[in-house]
Amino acid sequence: MAESGLLFEGSDWDFSVLDRSYVAIEAVARQDLELDLYANQIEIISSEQMLDAYSSVGMPLMYRHWSFGKHFIQNERAYKKGQQGLAYEIVINSNPCVSYCMEENSMPMQALVIAHAACGHNHFFKANHLFKQWTDPEGILDYLDYARGFVANCEERHGQREVERILDAAHALMGSGVFRHRRPPSLSLKAERARERERLAEEEKRVHYLWDSVTRGSRSTASDETEARERKRRMRLPEENIIFFIEHYSPVLEPWQREVLRIVRNIAQYFYPQKQTQIMNEGCACFVHYHILTLMHQRGQIDDGAMLEILHSHTNVLTQPDYDDRRFSGINPYALGFAMMQDIRRICEDPTDEDRHWFPDTAGCGDWRGVLKDAWANYRDESFIQQFLSPKVMRDFHMFALSDDATDPWFLVSGIHDEQGYRVVRDAMARTRDISIQEPEIEVADVDLLGDRVLQLRHIRRDGIPLDPAQRDATLAHVRALWGYAVRMQEN
Amino acid sequence: MAQFIDRRLNPKDKNLGNRRRFIDRVRNHVKSAVDEAVKRRDIANADREGRVSVPADSINEPAFRHARDGGRRERVLTGNKQFHGGDRLNKPPAGGAGGRGRKGSKDGDGEDDFVFILSREEFLDIFFEDLELPDLIKRTLKELAATRPHRAGLSVTGSPGNLNVERTLRNAMGRRLALHRPTDREIREIRGRIFELEAVALPSEAQRAELIELREALETRQRRQKLVPYLDPLDVRYNHFEQRPEPNANAVMFCLMDVSASMREREKDLAKRFFVLLHLFLMRRYEKVELVFIRHTHQANECDEETFFHSRETGGTVVSTALVEMKRIVDARYPAADWNIYAAQASDGDNYSGDSAGCAAMLEAELMPLCQYFAYVEIIDEEEAQFLTNDRTGTELWLAYRGVAEALPNFAMKRISGPGDIYPVFRELFSRDLAKATDG
């Protein structure tokens, strides 16, 4: 085997083969692609453990909550019925970068997974600006461990019901529990934990003071009003992060409840970049595994049989069904990301006149590694599409944009993959990946400090799209429980 | 640099805590599903795992989301074949099949009920909930089969306590012989001879040569002794034990019930729980438990379970007919020498006047000698339970049976008005079993 240069033969694997293959794959990643990687920690798990990991949002440690049990049952059922296969891997944005490989995978699949997750995703987590700015991979596992302990402790002290009440409410608000524009006040989760104890006590005093002094006496005087105005100024209204606001200013919550909210908020914030970079993240991982494994195949380190198996799963994952296909469920982020990145390489190496016109800076520059790495580092889905979605990719996918106005009895094809339509389709595509458009924008508009303490939320409608009324009312009930007083929602 | 970690042996079921919380969350639905299952299922299958269906809204996880309709939206699709920019496509009629239903499946199953399987253990937990069983008994009932260690040959691993000395030494001896380990005696003889020769003041040439030879021989033998140890880890054998289910005899359980019109749904439901509990207990003890159902009004007959619980009869109530029928069946099919006979009788206490004394006499003289255990419950109303607190008063049947209960230890009786009252009837039965379990 050593003479032939093959890393492995057949589909069986053991730890020495895994190790040897990893070293070879990492060498290509670092030397040929010049990727910047966290140290890898690769864990071999069974399929049951994979199901376990699924249901707690892919994290190895999570506090306990019934909804995770529900998701587990859902996944288990789908898996047992054969409706859904399990992912081959799960990778966690942490340092060291933890990735799970299933024991059922054959050796070619393990190689694929290592190249995909331990190199591709790993590099993306380390390089992309969103992850750098908004997440703390050093501290996340410790923090989750702390969170799990804290929640368990609360359950013991205050009862499972009570904790569940707070967690249910916090989960309902998770989508509105992130800072989208302003940076989170503290990034290091470790420091966060250390400060926790004294912070809790201090905070409590502040909130009580805030409410106490304002509600003293039933009539509001002019000086009260100026004071209230001053306080509101300090509350920095309007506030986009509803959980943050409630955690800090709710008149009824106890310190531990505020801390539970904070935990949920921190976890939501940690996952926020992943939501914004799905196409890029998967595209990067697919591009990297494809490049590395093809190169190794050319060098004779992987035999034809293994390569065929790898390509088989590769194409399975990257299938983009047509809109009228039963399997169609929107744009496949793997397919689009991979196609765009392959196309960037083509434009750098072998551009057409069209490419020169559309991408004057990169067409024919030859340095596709540099261009890609710059893209991976500095873009998110929306801006990446706006910048790099080329006419060729749109043609290959036969893309068309469809606009739907509730007042019209028809859909309008606003653009297709032709000269007039490229920009329309590209803009539309970029907008569908913009979280601030795709998710409802809700903020804390006002709070009545002097009167009945009503919390005023505002939904900023975009393109006239309303909220789902049943979901809205159920969520508002949760907000009311956390706030303790009436909550109103204003839609405009 | 990569570190590989094998997690396959880590504990599974990391999710058990979450699952338990989920079941707690939907407790009401699970509870009614279990109650329903107890009603619907045969006594023998009451403890199976079962499907529970929970309405999706009760476990909905709400969030602020965009409504499906309204406003202006735009999306990008793939696989264009015939469209051109500016084309207008008619929308599918409202309320139709929903087109391709893309948006609908965003949050899972939509309006469908959420269905999951409750394991046997979880099922029993909930079944036991209002029976108020002591924890120890809950645990023993949930065990599927009692096992006992049986000798099953030898093994090369084990705890020191199970060391099989004889086997170990025999192996050691065989190995020592095969590898020609010098015995201690041999060495002692050589040493003796060397000692003798050394004692000679002026050894002859031959003696000197012999001495040298002997010393060499001693050295090689001692070296060999070290190389081939007296006892090697290879020789060690342990007694191996296997957990085998207890050999169980067969049991038959007679369910006797008054089915006259005064026994309504509530009474029958309580009676069923009473039978299920006894059956669960018997299943734990015996490999095979047969069930015989005898219903009676003023006459008794054997029937199947379905008829037993669900068909209505009219007529008077003569309890002794059921006992006669039971005796007949025992004589015909279940010789007491081969079968452990258990009986459970449920009634509301009514009996044809004058019959009760006969029942007691018949029990004492004919049935009780055959039975391992006879449990009787009298199902009464909750209001009745308020004043019927004294065991010494009651219906004629109750008083007659009391005489039997005082005379015989394996006869138990109790008035019940709710599921929580059932367990005490069996208390003695269970406590005997527990005592045995702790002894053994």
Give the ipTM of the model, two decimals please. Answer: 0.82
What is the token pair recorded at A416?
């297709």
CA distance A51 to A72: 7
Low-confidence ranges of chain A (pLDDT < 70): 1-4, 56-57, 82-86, 183-222
A77: left (phi over 0), alpha (psi -120 to 50) or beta: alpha
Amino acid found at B281: F
- At how many degrees (to 10) do helices B265-285 and B135-142 cross? 70
Residue ranges with strand state E in A129-257: none
B3, B60, B116 ranked by CB distance to A41: nearest: B3
With an 8 Å Cβ cutoff, are A66 and B100 in contact? no
Strand partners, A490: A458
pTM of the model: 0.73
What is the token pair recorded at A251?
């008149």
pLDDT in the model for residue A184: 58
**3-state SS class at B298:** coil
A23, A418, A465 ranked by CB distance to B67: nearest: A465
Which chain B residues are within 8 Å of A442, Cβ to Cβ? 64
**CA B123 to each of CA A117, B17, B128: distance values in angstroms, whole numbers, following the listed order:** 41, 16, 9
Residue (of B302, B425, B415, B400) closest to B348 by Cα position: B415
What is the token pair recorded at B236?
């060690």
Nearest CA in chain A to B25: A66
Which chain B residues are within 8 Å of A49, Cβ to Cβ? 7-8, 10, 12, 14
DSSP B91: P
CA distance A179 to A188: 15
User: Does B61 reach chain A within 8 Å, measured CB to CB?
Assistant: yes
CA distance A57 to A52: 9
Q: How many CB pairs under 8 A join A and B?
A: 259
**3-state SS class at A104:** coil
Residue ranges with strand state E in A103-189: none
User: Does B392 reach chain A within 8 Å, measured CB to CB?
Assistant: no
**3-state SS class at B285:** helix
CA distance A369 to A363: 13
Low-confidence ranges of chain B (pLDDT < 50): 96-110, 437-440
With an 8 Å Cβ cutoff, are B66 and A440 in contact? yes
With an 8 Å Cβ cutoff, are B12 and A46 in contact? yes
A contact test, residue of B7, B18, B22, B60 with most A CBs within 10 A: B18
CA distance A78 to B109: 11
Residue (of B89, B128, B408) closest to A324 by Cα position: B89
pLDDT in the model for residue A84: 66
User: Does A4 reach chain B within 8 Å, measured CB to CB?
Assistant: no
Contact A26, A37 (CB under 8 A): yes
CA distance A72 to B14: 11
Residue ranges with strand state E in A149-291: none
Residue (of B251, B255, B252) closest to B346 by Cα position: B255
pLDDT in the model for residue B419: 81
List the Cα angle A119/A122/A126 in 5-degree steps.
130
**3-state SS class at B357:** helix
Which chain A residues are within 8 Å of B99, Cβ to Cβ? none
With an 8 Å Cβ cutoff, are A467 and B64 in contact? yes
With an 8 Å Cβ cutoff, are B22 and A15 in contact? no
A97-102 vs A40-45, strand pairing mode:
parallel
pLDDT in the model for residue A329: 85
CA distance A415 to B74: 11
A42, A48, A329 ranked by CB distance to B2: nearest: A42
pLDDT in the model for residue B104: 40
A contact test, residue of B16, B30, B78, B89 with most A CBs within 10 A: B78
User: Does B9 reach chain A within 8 Å, measured CB to CB?
Assistant: no
pLDDT in the model for residue A202: 64
Amino acid found at B371: C
CA distance B64 to A176: 8
| Residue recorded with tokens 């670092």 | A30
pLDDT in the model for residue B98: 41
Other CB atoms within 10 A of residue B8 CB? 14
A97-102 vs A400-405, strand pairing mode:
unpaired
Contact A88, A118 (CB under 8 A): no
Residue (of B180, B179, B172) closest to B234 by Cα position: B172
Task: Tell me the residues of chain B between 79 and 108 that have a Cβ less than 8 Å away from chain A.
Answer: 79-81, 83-91, 100, 102, 108
